[in-house]
Amino acid sequence: MSRVRGGRGYLLIDNRASGGEKLEMATLTCSHCNTIVVLNKERSRSRSYCRSCNAYICDSPGCNAICASIEKSLEILQTNPGLPLLARGKQGELLCDPNIFNKNTF
């Protein structure tokens, strides 16, 4: 089994100068919509994961519906400029024809 791809990060919010506190949290980047997700240590349900692109994804319904990763979108855009592949709706749903992401299309 291969290791899950990157997309891991770190968030630091330091409000100590204004009387607040210092917060440190791990983050993941959604492979499909590129949203940064702050990881909650107290979360009990498992994180969404896409087996097609071997990466974590956010909880957005559109990202869970079809594998349409940013990497794949950029590869298709290199050969077909002008396609609206990066356009997504409020729930992360694709605003283009999902058949574009079929491996046999290009």
User: Cβ of 69: how many Cβ atoms within 10 Å?
Assistant: 22
pTM of the model: 0.75
Domain assignment of residue 1, yes or no:
no
Domain assignment of residue 88, yes or no:
yes
Domain assignment of residue 2, yes or no:
no
Domain that holds residue 67: 8-101
Q: What is the pLDDT of residue 5?
A: 55
Q: What is the pLDDT of residue 4?
A: 52
Q: How many domains does the chain have?
A: 1
Residue with tokens 């087996």: 51
Domain assignment of residue 64, yes or no:
yes
Which whole-number Å values give the CA distances from 22 to 1, 25, 43, 56, 71, in the listed order?
37, 10, 21, 27, 34
Q: Within 13 Å of residue 49, how many CA atoms lie on the same side as its CB?
A: 9
pLDDT by residue for the chain (106 residues), tens only, comes to: 344 555 689 899 999 999 999 999 999 999 988 889 999 888 898 888 999 888 999 999 988 988 888 888 888 888 878 777 777 888 888 888 888 877 655 5
Domain assignment of residue 23, yes or no:
yes
